[in-house]
Amino acid sequence: MILRPALVALLAAPLLTGCVMKSTHEALLKKHEAKIEEARSLTDALATANARIAELEKTRDALKAEIAGLQAEKARQLKDNSQLEASIAQMQQALAELERRKRAAEARIAEFRELLARFKPLVDAGRLQVKLVDGRMVVVLATDILFDSGKAELSEAGQAAIAEVGALLASLEGRRFQVEGHTDNVPIKTRQYPSNWALAADRALTVVAAMIEAGLDATRVSGASYGEYKPAAANDTDEHRALNRRIEIVLVPDLSTLPGFDELNRIGSQPGQPASEPASEPESQPGS
Going by CATH, does the domain composed of 126-268 fall within 3.30.1330.60?
Answer: yes
For residue 246, name the pLDDT band (cuts at 50, 70, 90): very high
pLDDT digits (tens, 9 = 90+) for 195-218: 999 999 999 999 999 999 999 999
Q: What global pTM score does this model have?
A: 0.60
Contacts of 192 (CB under 8 A, 6+ apart): 198
Relative orientation angle of helices 156-170 and 5-124, to the nearest 10 degrees: 150
C-alpha span between 144 and 155 (Å, rounded)? 10
- Residue predicted with more confidence, 103 or 269: 103
The mean pLDDT of 83-96, rounded to a whole number, is: 88
* Nearest residue to 153 via CA among 210, 86, 109: 210
Q: What is the pLDDT of residue 285?
A: 36
C-alpha span between 276 and 27 (Å, rounded)? 114
For residue 20, name the pLDDT band (cuts at 50, 70, 90): low
Angle among Cα 30, 34, 39 to the nearest 5 degrees reads 150
Cβ proximity of 204 and 154 under 8 Å: no
The mean pLDDT of 210-228, rounded to a whole number, is: 96
Each domain of the chain, given as residue ranges in start order, spans 126-268
The mean pLDDT of 114-131, rounded to a whole number, is: 87
| pLDDT value at 282 more than 60 | no
For the chain, the residue count is 288
The mean pLDDT of 133-150, rounded to a whole number, is: 90
Most confident range (mean pLDDT) of 17-26, 153-162, 261-270 is: 153-162
